[in-house]
Amino acid sequence: MAEIVPALLVHNREEFLKRFDLVASHVDRVQWDIMDGIFVDNTTFSDPSVLDEIDKLGYNPPPKIEADLMVSDPENWVERLHHPGVDQLIFHFESLGLPARSWEPIFTQVRSAGFAIGLAAEPETPLEEYEKLLEEVDRFQAMGGKSGFGGQKFNPAVLKTIKKVRGKLPHLSISIDIGVNIETAPAMLAAGTTILVAGSAIFEAEDIPNAIESLRNVQI
């Protein structure tokens, strides 16, 4: 059974809290898409002060939040997101430039702050460029399309990368983001994915709880 993580790609505080509230009773965690308009061609609501408002929604406990940092300065977000409700930061390999600057100082900072570490990569980035880094993180997030926008058509080429990573690191958590829906999920899971990050497939559904449950129960 797959873990389902709704993606919060929103543009204001009200929308963030509304979407969080819509899924909070049905999942253990949500993913907050933070975009700066520099690393990706989109910007999203990214004010950490909203985290203090989640307690007012009345969930005990509320779902944990993981932050997907589609930003050009990922190291500057570690302190900004230091909050009890946030337990994982997902960094994009390409965000430090190619060839990448050393991730070691950032990972050390993140571990010291108590976060788990995720590493994401674009479909066209060769696995060989970041393969060694995957040994240092808690999770690999494969991108099923170009980072920055939801609702994209799934790029199946990423399945080969997922299979390779699963073969080399059998115990690593692997998520996929972009293009996740009831039709694409079986192939994603068969390739070795354990976590499905979904935005449009959940929030554009007429019945959100049913959409989450349907994804959770997808059979390979």
pLDDT in tens, 101-121: 689 899 999 999 999 999 999
> Measured between alpha carbons, how far is 171 from 90 in angstroms, rounded to an integer?
18
Asked if residue 74 has a cis previous peptide bond (ω within 30° of 0), the answer is: no
Band of residue 100 on the pLDDT scale cut at 50, 70, 90: low
Length of the chain, please? Answer: 220
Percent of the chain with pLDDT over 70: 98
Q: Where are the alpha helices (DSSP H) in the chain?
A: 13-23, 77-80, 104-113, 158-168, 185-191, 200-203, 208-216
Q: What is the average pLDDT value for the chain, to the nearest integer? A: 95
pTM above 0.85, yes or no: yes
- Domains of the chain in sequence order: 3-216 (3.20.20.70)
Q: Which amino acid is at 148?
A: G
Give Cα separations from 6 to 52, 62, 70, 166 (angstroms). Answer: 20, 14, 17, 23
Which pLDDT belongs to residue 92? 97
